[in-house]
Amino acid sequence: MSKTVLIKIKRQENPGATPRWEEFELTWKPGMNVISAMMEIAANPVTRAGQPTTPIAYDSNCLEEVCGSCAMLINGRARMACSALVDKLEQPITLEPFKKFPVVRDLQVDRSVIFENLKRVKAWIPVDGTYDLGPGPRTQPTDQEEEYPLSRCISCCCCMEACPQFNESTGFVGAATIGQVRLFNLHPTGKALKHERLQALMGDGGIQECGFAQNCVEICPKDIPLTKAIADTGGEVMKQAMKDFFRG
């Protein structure tokens, strides 16, 4: 008898619909991951009981943990479906959409809050591309070493889903956004907006909402040193707030 894989998926037809669970049973294949299992289910949407159902909806693109779109709760833990190997998961494998983001359909959620937060802190390098600026300023190797891990963020939102402080009552921007503030404030050209970025992290929803529970650093699929970035940025925000205060 061939080996099978049992998968339970939380289905929700639209943002206002009541969720329900459906079970699927697939034939096991070597190297199977959650995305390849979902592709099979979407192509042949028949439940374990033999009932035809609607194709499941989920986001994915790169299939190699780069685009950040396939994040979901797999056996209750926030992670990327494309790097979750079926053989390493307990069965039945449960797949649910993130709980802290609005559900669009099935496993798809609206993650636009992270992009709004990145806009809020101006997470970009300000350059005027209308004329030749010549070579940019040099970056110190020590800064590069700190910048590279931060630049690996894929905006998956796993850190925000796992963070006890990321909720509607705090409006906390979350660890990923703070990591990007650190990254762009280290960059020799990015520094031009350092003051504005630090100011954007002051007050409600800012860096002081972080309770330093460290769930973010534990869950990040790209091993980004988030708690160090939060501590370093927290110190900079404090210094900036003092300077602003004394300048009146």
Residues making contact with ligand FES (CB under 6 A): 60-63, 65-70, 80, 82
Q: Using CA atoms, how far apart are residues 248 and 33, in angstroms rounded to an integer? A: 57
List of residues 6+ apart from 150 with CB closer than 8 A: 179, 180, 182, 183, 186, 224, 225, 229
User: 96: which 2 tokens?
Assistant: 């649910």
User: What binding mask, one character per residue, do residues 144-163 give for ligand SF4 by CB under 6 A, x or -?
Assistant: ---------xxxxxxx---x
The entry of ligand SF4, ligand FES, none that residue 69 binds, CB within 5 to 8 Å by partner kind = ligand FES
Q: How far is the CB of 20 from ligand SF4 (least distance, A)?
A: 29
| Shorter beta-carbon distance to ligand FES: residue 54 or 61 | 61
Using CB under 6 A as the binding rule, whether residue 222 contacts ligand SF4 is answered as yes
Q: Which of residues 175-194 bind ligand SF4 (CB under 6 A)?
A: 175-176, 179
Q: How far is the CB of 101 from ligand SF4 (least distance, A)?
A: 12
| Shorter beta-carbon distance to ligand FES: residue 62 or 242 | 62
In the DSSP assignment, the letter for residue 130 is: T
| Shorter beta-carbon distance to ligand SF4: residue 107 or 230 | 230
List of residues 6+ apart from 197 with CB closer than 8 A: 121, 122, 123, 181, 184, 185
* 3-state secondary structure at position 20: strand
Q: Which H or E run includes 182? A: helix 175-186
Instruction: Say how many CA atoms lie within 13 Å of 123 toward its Cβ.
Output: 22
Using CB under 6 A as the binding rule, whether residue 95 contacts ligand SF4 is answered as no
Using CB under 6 A as the binding rule, whether residue 224 contacts ligand SF4 is answered as yes
Q: Which of residues 127-146 bind ligand SF4 (CB under 6 A)?
A: none
Find tokens 């998961």 and name the residue. Answer: 89
Q: How far is the CB of 64 from ligand FES (least distance, A)?
A: 7
Q: What is the CA radius of gyration of the chain?
A: 21
Where residue 92 falls (left for φ over 0; alpha for ψ -120 to 50; beta otherwise) is: beta
Name the segment binding ligand SF4 (CB under 6 A); options: 43-51, 84-92, 99-107, 218-226.
218-226
Binds ligand SF4 by CB under 6 A, chosen from 19, 212, 239, 242? 212
Q: How many residues bind ligand SF4 (CB under 6 A)?
A: 27
Q: Using CA atoms, how far apart are residues 147 and 92, in angstroms rounded to an integer? A: 40
Given the rule CB under 6 A, which residues bind ligand SF4?
153-159, 163-165, 175-176, 179, 210-216, 220-222, 224, 226-227, 230
